[in-house]
Amino acid sequence: MSGVVDEPLRVALLSYRSKPHCGGQGVYLRHLSRELAALGHRVDILSGQPYPELDRDDITLTKIPSLDLYRDDDPFRTPALTEYRDWIDVLEYAHMKTGGFPEPLTFSLRVLRELRRRRREFDVAHDNQVLGFGNLGIPRLGLPLVTSIHHPISVDRRIELEAAPDPLSRFGKQRWYGFVGMQARVARRVGTILTVSESSKIDIVKDFKVDPGDIEILPLGVDTRIFHPRGERVPGRIVAMASADSPLKGVDVLLRAVAKLATERDVHLIVVGRPQKDGPTEKLVRELALGDRVRFVSGVSDDELGELLASAEIAVVPSRYEGFSLPAVEHMASGTPLIASRAGALPEVVGRSAAMVAPGDVEELAATLLLLHDAPDERARLGAAGLARVQERYTWAAVARTTVEYYRAEIARQNYLRLAAGGARAGADLRSPKAVARRGAPGGPARKEHRPADR
């Protein structure tokens, strides 16, 4: 195991699904792995479907295949008998058929099996919000574990239940989110947790009952190679990036606000996200007669996404909650004036660099859109303020450097616990891990919030 502060680490990054262009987990995995590798560390991503896109040839992808029951072209599918490999596959299908979401649990069991076989290949494991019962076995292998929780999914569950139209729908949501109880129990037992904002830390402590002393705040970064100002903007264009059918993301609020604005101004909305066919979002678009004013896009390349965000006159993050919001930072990095909800971590992330509205308030959002549409000087001011904030605070290289400090701190802690459990051997240093860190031996950062600076 690595014991020298500057020695490259062998990192196992664990992620049960890693969609590369939407969903914070996949974006986080892609950029963190690239910057860890750029620092000279050996990175192996262990992921279920959908698999990530990787930016460097020296990053290894180990596929931990599930039954892929939620693939885009065939969700909730019934696998052929020849697809079943073991009891975990049977558990996964049975869990899905009874209305639950099995992937965090079943991935954790599969990845524990893989790590047990390959234990000596890694210095540290980093869980990307899996929080399955199998994770509890990783430290028992002697492998230090660091866990990222972007925000507790209990918040999604609460908002979805509030939006459920009837008791049967609420029962279905309760069953689907049954894995949240497992994640809470695991979070209390895994040790060091990295989260992205003070808001998320508060929610993790409140909902998961985690000791606040086990949680460190490390904001996310943005890839400024993709997201940066690119010249002329399209008049009247409003852009948002959101899971189109999730009540959490507030697309319904944005559509209603745009419908109001469209009666007075020539505007159009592009949402980066794919709504369910004949789902609630498509029905609302028809109800509001917005067919020629709204377009949904998905599957775009990095460069196409960067071009789209930089082409907007106004960007909107209308969420009812965010644990961090990478889209908000990407909009600001593009120099696009931003309107964001006063929800979750958004005020913390954007500071005074965005126009803020109450979450769920259609009238206030419509009025703010109108105000910015008619005020080019205010748009320019907000765009410049957001870009400056990103350049000061949010870079992936800084995120990776600080993450490595936490890896080394956890390695030192595990080494200390192993020595202590074995008793005092001749010459063994049994100082506490914090004392070790203060003296410059293998250790890590003091307990404090890290705000990455620019490169």
Q: What pLDDT digit, counting tens, does each position of 354-364 carry?
A: 999 999 999 99
**Residue 356 phi, psi (nearest 5):** -110, 140
pLDDT at 424 over 60: no
pLDDT band of residue 454 (cuts 50, 70, 90) is: very low
Q: What is the pLDDT of residues 343-390, one digit of tens each?
A: 999 999 999 999 999 999 999 999 999 999 999 999 999 999 999 999
Q: Between 65 and 242, whose confidence is greater?
A: 65
Mean pLDDT, residues 223-228 taken together: 93
- Provide the CATH number for the domain formed by 237-393 in this structure: 3.40.50.2000
Cα torsion angle, 147, 250, 220, 47, sign = positive
Mean pLDDT for all residues in the chain: 91
| Predicted local confidence at residue 441, as pLDDT | 43
What's this model's pTM, rounded to 2 decimal places? Answer: 0.82
Residue 200 scores a pLDDT above 90 = yes
CATH architecture of residue range(s) 10-221+397-438: 3-Layer(aba) Sandwich (3.40)
Tell me how far CA of residue 203 lies from CA of 83, 192, 339, 340, in angstroms.
39, 16, 24, 20
Domain assignments of the chain as residue spans, ordered by start: 10-221+397-438, 237-393
Cis peptide before 442 (omega within 30 of 0): no
193 DSSP β-pair partners: 147, 215
List pLDDT tens digits, range 13-63.
999 998 765 567 888 999 999 999 999 999 999 999 999 989 999 999 999
